[in-house]
Structure 1
Amino acid sequence: MPDLPHAPPQDAPATGADSAAEWQPLPARARTLFLLGTVPVAIPFAFGGFIFTRVFDLSPLLAPLGLIVGLALGIWLGLKQYRHTFWRLDEDGLGLRRGRLWQRETRVPATRVQHLDLKRGPLQRRRNLATLVVHTAGTRHSSVSVPNLDAGDAERLRDRLGRQIDHDDDQ
């Protein structure tokens, strides 16, 4: 089955409260930021290819091959990360699904949310994107980040989760 860039996972649950909220893909303008995020992966491959050609005294013409392979690997990884990242918000809380072969799904029940942050770097602001950070009860490392959401979606998620927190506090 070919990879569809924005197709939600086929095995999304279809029962109970989960059926009301579908898995949402990231906006198309987030693709560039995922590609830029894989540059740190590509650089070691490019450097390793250069060192390999020097150590084994191979043709200097092969050195650019390491750079090309590293960049291709980075682009491939960035596109895979982008295509296989989905989020959803339902009455129980926030869900984040990443990956295809090794799929990771993170659920944050609304009752566990302590506070919410929106982060917008300069590249995100230029593309009208934001990262939603959901801080949960627990240690200082207990947070879930949903990167490169549409800024409007991120604000709506923050506001809705915030209202759920306030509603739970009132009861």
Structure 2
Amino acid sequence: MSDLLDTPVPPPLPAAPAAPDWQPLPLRSAWLAAVSGAISGALLFGIVPGALWVLFELPARWWSVAALVVVGTLAGAMIGFRRQRRTRWRLDAHGLGLRRDLLWQHETRVPLSRVQHLDLRRGPIERNARLSTLVVHTAGSRFSAVTIGGLDSDDAERLRDTLAYQLDQDDDAL
């Protein structure tokens, strides 16, 4: 009788996705992407023209470089925000889907049978914003990983657990 009580109970199955529709990334990931884009835009539009101005002694004034920094900051923030808001993911019976579009639409499907292993990454800024990056490594060539950055931490853990459970089930079938 005590053997029955000591037997470990397998963990419950991960919950299925609420809906097979395309899921947006959380708004807070778009704000982080906007900050990152603003920094990149400011550096690109500020350092490059500023260096050219100094290096070649161009007749531009300091305010023109400052205006370029402002334009680069705003453009980078807008592109980063909109790009993140236009990223969607979906987990269905066929596998994981990732759709990104801003100017060009890019859709990636990872069949469940191709998943090799999974990584969940959280940097200090992501942890503070309760975000995670899920890396799905697939069978294939050197560039065979799909990365979904800016996922809500709960969604990322649920996706990882669901994909890992399916991976374990496929391994047991062999």
Smaller-chain TM-score bracket:
0.7 to 0.9
Partner residue of 1:144? 146
Instruction: Give the structure with higher Rg (CA).
Output: 2
Q: Distance in 2 between matches of 1:79 and 1:51?
A: 28
Deviations 1:41-91 (A, max 9, x none): 431211234346554313332221111111011111111211110001001
Partner residue of 1:164? 166
After TM superposition, the score normalised by the length of structure 1 is: 0.82
Percent sequence identity over matched residues?
Answer: 47
* Greater mean deviation of Cα atoms: 50-59 or 107-116: 50-59
Residue type of the partner of 2:35?
A: L
Q: 1:75 aligns with which of 74, 77, 83?
A: 77
Q: Distance in 2 between matches of 1:44 and 1:23?
A: 33
Partner residue of 2:42? 42
Q: Distance in 2 between matches of 1:157 and 1:31?
A: 20
Residue type of the partner of 1:44?
A: L
Q: Is 1:49–1:67's contact at 8 Å kept on the other side of the alignment?
A: no
Q: Distance in 2 between matches of 1:48 and 1:155?
A: 41
SS for the counterpart of 2:141 is coil
Residue type of the partner of 2:22?
A: W
Q: 2:101 aligns with which of 99, 102, 124?
A: 99
Partner residue of 1:115? 117
Q: Distance in 2 between matches of 1:58 and 1:40?
A: 22
Q: Which runs of 5+ in 1 are unaligned?
A: 1-19
Q: Distance in 2 between matches of 1:124 and 1:60?
A: 36
* Greater mean deviation of Cα atoms: 134-143 or 153-162: 134-143
Q: Is 2:41–2:74's contact at 8 Å kept on the other side of the alignment?
A: no
Between the two proteins, the alignment pairs up a number of residues equal to 152
SS for the counterpart of 1:47 is helix
After TM superposition, the score normalised by the length of structure 2 is: 0.80
Q: Distance in 2 between matches of 1:71 and 1:61?
A: 15
SS for the counterpart of 1:82 is helix
* Greater mean deviation of Cα atoms: 146-155 or 51-60: 51-60
Q: Which runs of 5+ in 2 are unaligned?
A: 1-18
Q: Is 1:53–1:60's contact at 8 Å kept on the other side of the alignment?
A: no
Q: Which has the higher contact order (CA 8 A, sep 6+)?
A: 2
